[in-house]
């Protein structure tokens, strides 16, 4: 852990430096971080192999890499998503009383909630940052379904045998593929007690300006509030929320998420 801390101290030294070119030598970095020159040089070599910093061999100076722009862009996108969705999540929660969850795919073949509103009559499940498998639950199945085919196949291999949470959990790869196709076709995902016996859920996608699915909004409620009329109302409100969020992000979900015949 001390090496990780030392590496971040080097990154922060670049940010705090008064160097106009944003380039610093090993001696200057060692002075700014309180590390030895040997320790600083070893860390810079490791960070360089990861593409985090680059070296100018002529001047023997180091600078931050464009790779960090990708990290910054990813963080900004997630923050922008949460900010853009906040009002819509509040409205959904107020109108439905369901647990409302904004979820995204993350590393390791899982989904994580990045924002949550607790339901009024259902136990909470899925705090911000918690991880969910991809083959159960409306939001997770939605994001799996809209992933590239090779990603779906890799998940089915990596996660095999698929974990069964209830008697309704689909654990046969062939049936998971069929459900993914159905979700893509209809534009939303349904979960009938396949993750937990006390809840059902419905989820719709959020798309970016290129039409790619980048997140999902789901509404979870007890079985008693998940009849056909309930589902249609939830779907209508979810699609409106999805369109609003994507429009705020500069996309065009209002055109892609129109109600379709089931």
Write the pLDDT tens digit of every residue in 39-94: 999 999 999 998 889 988 878 899 888 777 667 656 655 668 888 999 999 999 99
Could you please report the per-residue DSSP string of 190-251? EEESSS-TT-EEEEEEEE-TTS-EEEEEEEEE-GGG-SHHHHHHHHHHHHHHHHHHHHHTT-
Comparing CA positions, the residue from 9, 61, 54 lying closest to residue 35 is: 9
Instruction: Report pTM.
Output: 0.69
The DSSP call for residue 17 is -
Considering 118-127, 216-225, 246-255, the range whose residues carry the highest mean pLDDT is 216-225
- pLDDT, position 258: 37
- pLDDT, position 74: 61
- pLDDT, position 72: 66
Domain with CATH 1.10.10.10 in the chain: 2-65
More confident residue, 124 or 133: 133
Comparing CA positions, the residue from 143, 164, 165 lying closest to residue 152 is: 143
- pLDDT, position 227: 96
Give the 3-state secondary structure of residue 131: coil
Domain with CATH 3.30.450.40 in the chain: 71-256
- pLDDT, position 256: 40
From the options 2.60.40.10, 3.40.50.11400, 1.10.10.10, 3.90.550.10, give the CATH code of 2-65.
Answer: 1.10.10.10
Average pLDDT, the chain: 87
- Give kind and range of the element (H or E) at residue 2: helix 2-16
CB atoms within 10 A of CB 246: 28
What is the percent of the chain where pLDDT is above 90? 62
Q: Is-contact 112 106, C-beta < 8 A?
A: yes
Residues contacting residue 237 through CB under 8 Å, at least 6 positions apart:
92, 95, 96, 219
| Whether pLDDT at 162 is above 90 | yes
pLDDT band with cut points at 50, 70 and 90 for residue 139: very high
Superfamily of domain 71-256 in CATH is GAF domain (3.30.450.40)
- pLDDT, position 126: 72
């Amino acid at each position: 852990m001390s090496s990780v801390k030392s590496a971040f101290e080097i990154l922060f030294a670049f940010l705090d430096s008064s160097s106009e070119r944003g380039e610093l030598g090993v001696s200057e970095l060692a002075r700014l971080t309180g590390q030895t020159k040997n320790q600083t040089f070893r860390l810079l070599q490791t960070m360089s192999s990861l593409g985090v910093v680059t070296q100018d061999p002529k001047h023997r100076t180091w600078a931050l890499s464009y790779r960090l722009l990708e990290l910054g862009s990813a963080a900004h996108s997630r923050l922008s998503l949460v900010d853009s969705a906040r009002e819509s999540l509040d409205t959904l929660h107020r109108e439905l009383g369901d647990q409302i969850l904004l979820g995204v795919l993350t590393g390791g073949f899982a989904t994580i909630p990045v924002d949550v509103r607790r339901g009024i009559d259902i136990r909470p499940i899925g705090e911000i940052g918690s991880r969910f498998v991809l083959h159960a639950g409306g939001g997770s199945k939605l994001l799996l379904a809209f992933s590239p085919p090779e990603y779906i196949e890799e998940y089915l291999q990596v996660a095999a045998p698929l974990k069964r949470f209830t008697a309704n959990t689909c654990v046969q790869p062939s049936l998971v593929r069929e459900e993914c196709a159905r979700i893509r076709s209809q534009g939303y995902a349904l979960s009938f007690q396949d993750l937990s016996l006390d809840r059902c859920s419905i989820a719709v996608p959020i798309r970016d300006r290129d039409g790619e699915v980048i997140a999902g909004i789901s509404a979870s409620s007890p079985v008693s509030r998940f009849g056909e009329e309930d589902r249609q109302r939830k779907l209508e409100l979810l699609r409106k929320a999805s369109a609003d969020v994507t429009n705020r992000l500069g996309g065009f979900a209002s055109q892609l998420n129109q109600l379709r015949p089931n």
